[in-house]
Amino acid sequence: MKKLIELLKREKLYGWKIIIIKKHRANLHYTKNYEEETYLEGKRKDVEVTIYVDYGKEIGENTFPITSDDDEHMKELIKDAIYACSFTKKQKYELLAKKEKRKKVPLVDKQIKYAIEKGNGREILQNTANQVFKEFRKEKEIKLNGMELIASIVEIEILTSKNIHINSQRTDFYIDAVITSFNENQEQEFLGVKILSKIKDFDSRSFVKRYCQYARDILIAQAPKCFEGNVLLKEDALNDFFVPFPPPTPLAFHSNARIKYMKMSKYKIGDYITQNPPKGDLLTIVSNPGLAYNPASSECDFDAIASKKIMIIEKSKVKNFYGDLRHSQYIGIKPTGSIGVIEVSPGKIPQKALGKKDHCEVVAFSWFNPDELSGNFSAEIRLGYIVKGNKRVPFKGGTFTGNIFKLFEEVYLSKEIEVVRGYKGPKAILFKDATVSGE
């Protein structure tokens, strides 16, 4: 890095930053019949440079990767980037002048870190796999057709022209299992996935029981009829609703300073997020990047802005905007860094009571990717249930359709909460007058 920094300092730049991301990963694959297929372990290092050029009331910005430490190669890259900046002029903003005080967030699992650094990544993954296999062998009419486990250490280093130097580290654990349920006539697959920061937080028993039950239910599930009324979201479907892929949820998207600056946000401080005053439970959402051992947490963003906890929505009204260094300055707010874990305040009704009346319950989507601007969505249902009295009939297919902002005109939140990747909030939410399209 010394050579690169020296080359950058020679140029008359408004500023620069270097981001270095190192990944050390252990990856274990199993085929059917619990047979180990491959084990891979690897290291990767990515270096990315951003330069800023001063044009008076404007600055130009260009980002490029460093793939070689050859002096001439780096000189050429910097020269090309300076030229490219003349085509990316934007309103000037101040770069971060000094290192901000960061809240230390525990994101490193010592068990994963120690195992990988000592060359025992395979062993730690095998031990976890054996716990999963033990649970699968208890299940009837179930086959495990494949499984993948990944443990990794991610180190991020940020250096800037303002003498800011930041190091942060995190660990991740990922597991997916292809589960097949079967009877005399047919088979049906279901993919179970879990992502955590600590391997110790992985509960093999609950993981296997949940996804084996999903697989059994989807085997006998039928196509749904059209349904209008109470729709209850829980488990995987609820997590996807608040933390869709790609993120963020439209509820948070409109609170982004960049969207506000571009005049695309529908939010105004103090206004309801809904068109009409809401009934039922009011929605409060906090972005919390400081939740310990959650994969969505972080100590700072790539501009070295310390991540800050911020209330975005309070009692269904817009409370604050969040944003990066550039766009926060443009709209006159303090930069908050990246969005963190979406924390949703619980309601007062027990989960069991939410499901007392007849309803449609959705536990898994095939995908959930709402339109960020409008909030409109049409999500295919992978597994759900029509619940009437004590009768609970599984279905698959059909779509949950509507508008996120409209749904929150009347919603009821369970008082029980759960914490998963990117989400902390009610275990179940009930929408009134919602729609599931079917046959």
Distance CA 242, CA 424 (A): 10
Boundaries of every domain in the chain: 2-220, 227-437
Predicted pLDDT at 159: 97
Mean pLDDT along residues 192-208: 97
Model-wide pTM > 0.85 = yes
Which pLDDT band, with edges at 50, 70 and 90, does 124 fall under?
very high
d(CA 415, CA 429): 10
Task: State percent of the chain over pLDDT 90.
Answer: 94
Summarised one tens digit per residue, pLDDT across range 257-289 is 999 999 999 999 999 999 999 999 999 999 999
Cα–Cα distances (Å) from 84 to 78, 89, 352, 410, 421, in that order, read 10, 10, 59, 50, 38
CATH 3.30.2290.10 fits 2-220, yes or no: yes
**Closest C-alpha among 300, 434, 414, 418 to residue 362:** 434
- Tell me the β-bridge partners of 234: 428
